Amino acid sequence: SAVISQKPSRDICQRGTSLTIQCQVDSQVTMMFWYRQQPGQSLTLIATANQGSEATYESGFVIDKFPISRPNLTFSTLTVSNMSPEDSSIYPCSVTQGRDPNYGYTFGSGTRLTVV
Amino acid sequence: AQTVTQSQPEMSVQEAETVTLSCTYDTSESDYYLFWYKQPPSRQMILVIRQEAYKQQNATENRFSVNFQKAAKSFSLKISDSQLGDAAMYFCAYRSKGAQKLVFGQGTRLTINP
């Protein structure tokens, strides 16, 4: 299965600023997924990033707040904009495990973001 | 919309014993996929086991097995011969056949007592 590297692994940011999170995969993948895991909570999908097209956002998430780039088949970034303490979460990215998405998904370790 | 419910926020088991984690889901679809993921303190989600809804046979992966009851919309995970390394958060997840999105339950924190 794919190996995912995320940077930074953690960060502490001031409210009102923005942070860009990187997700690098060791193989080419069609879709990359960005999730949010709020403290003590489960994972919620933010958006799906396809190479060469606009990201598809889930209900409750907007591009102005979480702009995503997908410049190639192995890399994506998620920006958390104009941060507030409510954005303090872990942000893992994910890709399909193997060629068949039915086999599940591989996750990165996530970026732990704390907004103060 | 599909929902996944894990009614046990925390579970504990003695090392070498067997424990079952519960998961129920709500869907109107007939074809879908179900997963159990493990999240250790390292935070990375690890796929434990998967089940295809159209298969009646319960999935098994070494010490991990599921009890899939489609009519009851239940998908429990049984861990046999529990080991200290099994301690983690366990998440049940649902995926529609035609979709890419995973819908996760709230998670169950499993503690293994030596």
| Predicted confidence band of residue B2 (pLDDT cuts 50, 70, 90) | confident
B95 to chain A, closest Cα gap in Å: 9
What is the arithmetic mean of pLDDT over A35-61? 92
CB contact (8 A) between residue B102 and residue A41 = no
Provide the pLDDT for residue A98. Answer: 62
Provide the pLDDT for residue A2. Answer: 84
Q: Are A61 and A47 in contact (CB under 8 A)?
A: yes
A42 to chain B, closest Cα gap in Å: 5
Answer whether residue B79 shows pLDDT above 90. Answer: yes
What is the arithmetic mean of pLDDT over B48-75? 94
Provide the pLDDT for residue A68. Answer: 96
| Predicted confidence band of residue B56 (pLDDT cuts 50, 70, 90) | confident
pLDDT digits over A101-112, tens only? 566 789 999 999
**Three-class SS of residue B89?**
strand
Task: Please count the residue pairs, one from chain A and one from chain B, whose beta carbons lie less than 8 angstroms apart.
Answer: 51
What is the arithmetic mean of pLDDT over B28-41? 93
Provide the pLDDT for residue A100. Answer: 65
The DSSP string of A42-63 is -EEEEEEEETTSPPEEPTT--T
Answer whether residue A47 shows pLDDT above 70. Answer: yes
Distance separating alpha carbons of residues B90 and B105, to the nearest angstrom: 9
Answer whether residue B89 shows pLDDT above 80. Answer: yes
Tell me whether residue A14 is exposed, middle or buried, using C-beta atoms within 10 angstroms of its C-beta: 0 to 12, 13 to 18, 19 or more. Answer: exposed
Answer whether residue B101 shows pLDDT above 90. Answer: no
Provide the pLDDT for residue A101. Answer: 59
Nearest CA in chain B to A89: B43
Residue A34 CB partners (closer than 8 Å, separation 6+): A23, A45, A46, A47, A48, A49, A66, A68, A76, A78, A91, A92, A93, A94
What is the arithmetic mean of pLDDT over A64-73? 95
Which tokens in the block code for residue A93? Answer: 């990215």
Distance separating alpha carbons of residues B86 and B11, to the nearest angstrom: 12
pLDDT digits over B36-52, tens only? 999 998 788 999 999 99
